[in-house]
Structure 1
């Protein structure tokens, strides 16, 4: 059987198993947001190679500031939280109709989030000693730990927000779009204190107050959408227009950094913790998502387009947890075997346009490595029914050990 025949057979099978009520547009938006995470990290996550052959994190944005607007296209966490809130609203309502307690629903969600995180942490804890014995420099291992942990903060924040779903859903049902306004106002106040006239007198931890409301904002918009309070095009245009207006104002009048991700050496960052600029972008993206929903659903009625969306969604946590490992799977052997010579676009300093062009050529390899790693590790997303109690306990111990190591080096 040829490859094309197998792909057509797969598409036919997926199409036949898709329920008629499935919201393909929302799944398509989630897949797009998911793919933006590895694409963004692979494009802005570079390395430098020191004289000892050790890898250190770097970013092309530090030397090529003109590329900052590209981060607006890859920062789709607002869309991810939007569709997460939308799906949670429908799921929790269905659970209530079946008589399932909200605590049971929440436990199931948190377990599905936790299994893959536990898996990646345990595997890396087991990998660090043999990699060290094989001659990989300690600095490279510390760099790897930072990169592996980098996407996992998102899972932790998402878990906390998910735990708030029953309360946030009631607010969405009662107040609609107004329920998101206090979150926006809270972040605006904290930003005013952080960056306003009295910024020097403010404590350094003040920005952490934006973590919850900053990321809950997009999720709350999704809940509003899920309860039918964001389906009118007028509301979507309001989000799009208002978000764009606020985004431009913050950039041009208040001097917010243009990059949506952290830039080494810069004192201010928009994403860690989220600034008001992140919420403005999330509002605009949410407006676009609502406006394109019907057209996107029509496109995804085609089995050839729908099948990859299904595959991506089924591997969501695998993609989030392992995409940095895919890049490291190419960079670490290169650094060890190259004899100290940097490879353009992979281990060379990300300081030139040539590096960007070369990195684009490396992306297919990273994608292939992620598919290969995912084929082995996707089992962590499934219930660990085949694992013994001792195996699960060992995974917990290894994950805890890696967490302590990562905490020490981050």
Structure 2
């Protein structure tokens, strides 16, 4: 894109943006979204099997635990759920149809891109395996990475369905509506990691999935009804940071916000109390920065334009960013074997430097893929029942392969 064309695009986006648009919320959402691929690209690596050349997942955090604080910055799902709750609450209040119609629309917007990426991968798997000879282990690794971000969509869909109840609780209780969610996660963690942990069934941790992620979403709904101001935001920031520090320094929680291969405990799947503490601190900081961020994006159209583009491609970025990384790593493993920063073990500082150098290529590949994949975000007005059934069948086949 030429400089003149870029200026024209920026001016067009600025002209089409309504004056009442809350740019800060969109900016926060874009920031949280971009942290997902950056986190996966930097905190996830590969090793190559010496026998068949298959790719296996690895993490630099296994060798460099000192870099765990990086995951505190890149794990911004608390901010994403906060602005999601805020935007959903406003959208629900402004709806013109029934609650069921509103929920169907939201579910369709979330589900179409997931159906798209899983259908495409289902069609690609036999071609990669039998046509191109890609090792079975590589395909299993690829499947794991493709599925990895999609759990979020299922959780977010359930949380979105609770929007009417979140709004009701927000009006009645204000910021205290989120307290029972935090308490639930705390109780479950106490049972899982306390003195009687051996007697606790392994499935109990799954109880934290809903309250753990609903916490920030509920705060967003409270923010939307005007009952979460700067005073409460300061308390969230300070209280969340204090709890976070106590859990790390006193209670022995793992420092990484993402799973580390070989570690017995993880904070993210299911979310632990450390995740909720970080979400509280992030939510408080986001609300405190809201005004300044909104002003900045209004004064700088060149910053606002990419925020709009990222928000319009949100689900495409979420669903396809791992495919972009695999599009570079799989051919490299087949042609060259060990490529520094791409398919070599992530256990040296040189790997980190090399991986940073690969990030622009991953971004370009994601942009190229997104140019075609974004059609899955739009309503399927031109897709007949046969095409929809075929996509659903392929997606089901991918699910069988992934979890079978």
- Shorter-chain TM-score bucket reads over 0.9
Instruction: Output the CA distance in 2 between the equivalents of 1:398 and 1:228.
Output: 45
For residue 105 of structure 1, what is the aligned residue in structure 2? 102
Instruction: Output the CA distance in 1 between the equivalents of 2:227 and 2:76.
Output: 22
In the alignment, structure 1 residue 137 sits paired with structure 2 residue 139: no
For residue 19 of structure 2, what is the aligned residue in structure 1? 20
Alignment of 1:5-404 (within 5 A): 5-51=4-50, 52-95=52-95, 98=96, 100-133=97-130, 134-230=132-228, 232-301=229-298, 302-338=300-336, 341-404=337-400
Instruction: Identify the range of structure 1 (386-395 vs 323-332) with the bigger mean alpha-carbon deviation.
Output: 386-395
Give, in angstroms, the shift of residue 222 of structure 1.
0.5
Instruction: Output the CA distance in 2 between the equivalents of 1:175 and 1:65.
Output: 40
Give, in angstroms, the shift of residue 7 of structure 1.
0.7
Give, in angstroms, the shift of residue 270 of structure 1.
0.3
Instruction: Output the CA distance in 2 between the equivalents of 1:229 and 1:102.
Output: 23
Q: Tell me how large the CA RMSD over aligned residues is.
A: 0.7
Instruction: Output the CA distance in 2 between the equivalents of 1:320 and 1:94.
Output: 27
1:66-124 residue CA offsets vs partner (Å, 9 max, x unmatched): 110100000000000000000011000011xx3x2111111100000000000000000
Instruction: Output the CA distance in 1 between the equivalents of 2:195 and 2:213.
Output: 26
Instruction: Output the CA distance in 2 between the equivalents of 1:149 and 1:320.
Output: 11
Give, in angstroms, the shift of residue 327 of structure 1.
0.2
Instruction: Output the CA distance in 1 between the equivalents of 2:158 and 2:225.
Output: 21
Instruction: Output the CA distance in 2 between the equivalents of 1:390 and 1:233.
Output: 52
Over 4 Å off, 4+ runs: none
Instruction: Output the CA distance in 2 between the equivalents of 1:39 and 1:400.
Output: 29
Instruction: Output the CA distance in 2 between the equivalents of 1:65 and 1:241.
Output: 26
1:13-37 residue CA offsets vs partner (Å, 9 max, x unmatched): 0011101110000000000000000
1:364-390 residue CA offsets vs partner (Å, 9 max, x unmatched): 000000000000100000011111211
Structure 2: tracts of 5 or more residues without a match: none
1:151-210 residue CA offsets vs partner (Å, 9 max, x unmatched): 000000000111111111110111110100000000000000000000111111110000
Look up the SS of the partner of 2:254 in the other structure. coil
Instruction: Output the CA distance in 2 between the equivalents of 1:233 and 1:390.
Output: 52
For residue 402 of structure 2, what is the aligned residue in structure 1? 406
Instruction: Output the CA distance in 1 between the equivalents of 2:6 and 2:31.
Output: 21
Instruction: Output the CA distance in 1 between the equivalents of 2:109 and 2:153.
Output: 11
1:254-308 residue CA offsets vs partner (Å, 9 max, x unmatched): 0000000000000000000000000000000000001001100011012111000
Look up the SS of the partner of 2:239 in the other structure. helix
After TM superposition, the score normalised by the length of structure 2 is: 0.98
Instruction: Output the CA distance in 2 between the equivalents of 1:177 and 1:404.
Output: 42
Give, in angstroms, the shift of residue 392 of structure 1.
0.8
Give, in angstroms, the shift of residue 45 of structure 1.
0.9
Instruction: Identify the range of structure 1 (166-175 vs 72-81) with the bigger mean alpha-carbon deviation.
Output: 166-175
How many residues align structurally? 401
After TM superposition, the score normalised by the length of structure 1 is: 0.97
Instruction: Output the CA distance in 2 between the equivalents of 1:403 and 1:157.
Output: 17
Give, in angstroms, the shift of residue 233 of structure 1.
1.3
Give, in angstroms, the shift of residue 150 of structure 1.
0.2
Structure 1: tracts of 5 or more residues without a match: none
